[in-house]
Amino acid sequence: MTIESISSRATPRRRLLLAAALASACWLAGCGDKPAFKGVDITGADYGQQLSLPDQEGRQRQLSDFKGRVVVLFFGYTQCPDVCPTSLSELAQARRLLGSDGERLQGLFVSVDPQRDTPEIMRAYMASFDAGFLALLPTPAELPALAKSFKVYYKQVQGATPTSYTMDHSAGSYVYDTQGRLRVYHRYGSGAEALAADVRLLLAEAR
């Protein structure tokens, strides 16, 4: 007896139950469509879910503020000599590659150096990459718990003087879909094209 013959004699309720069972079996077998991200697919991750921090203009920001946009979030500091400016430059390039859809990409830069990264410094720094990007500024007291909740590593490395230290820190970017769900992790150096491709996939899901 075929599925078709069973279905043809089933009540509407039994047809719905049968369809649900078949869909569940297909999902378990891995036959459903799944985005082919260029970055690491971390859909369902239970970290990096919440933040509430002032931006460079003093406005309190949460991830929920950016619903309807893809968010790319990166931890760093303004005196970083290489990783941070490279990552922000790639993010700005990815936004340009998206054309008109670039308006639906929001860059967020979270400081791991709140002692030196003042709002004034952050304002100028972000403007040098993209005027639409926002810097988020935790206090020194807030930073440890925030970094832990995002599984981000950071450590101050002493320099020749008390103020010439550098910061070791995680170098990847978190990508959130238009509903504020953490979906993709991009390793440092993945490139603007790969990032733009994943943003396109997430925007397409929302259409």
Give the residue ranges of the annotated binding site for Cu cation: 80, 84, 169
Q: How do strand 166-169 and strand 154-157 relate by DSSP bridges?
A: antiparallel
User: What pairs with residue 174 in β-bridges?
Assistant: 73, 185
Answer whether 56's CB lies under 8 Å from 137's CB. yes
The dihedral through the CA atoms of 116, 119, 124, 130 has a sign that is positive
Annotated binding site: 80, 84, 169
Rounded distance, CA 158 to CA 180, Å?
A: 37
Are 198 and 186 in contact by the 8 Å Cβ rule? The answer is yes
For residue 195, give Cα distances in angstroms to 33, 98, 102: 20, 10, 12
Beta bridge partners of 75: 110
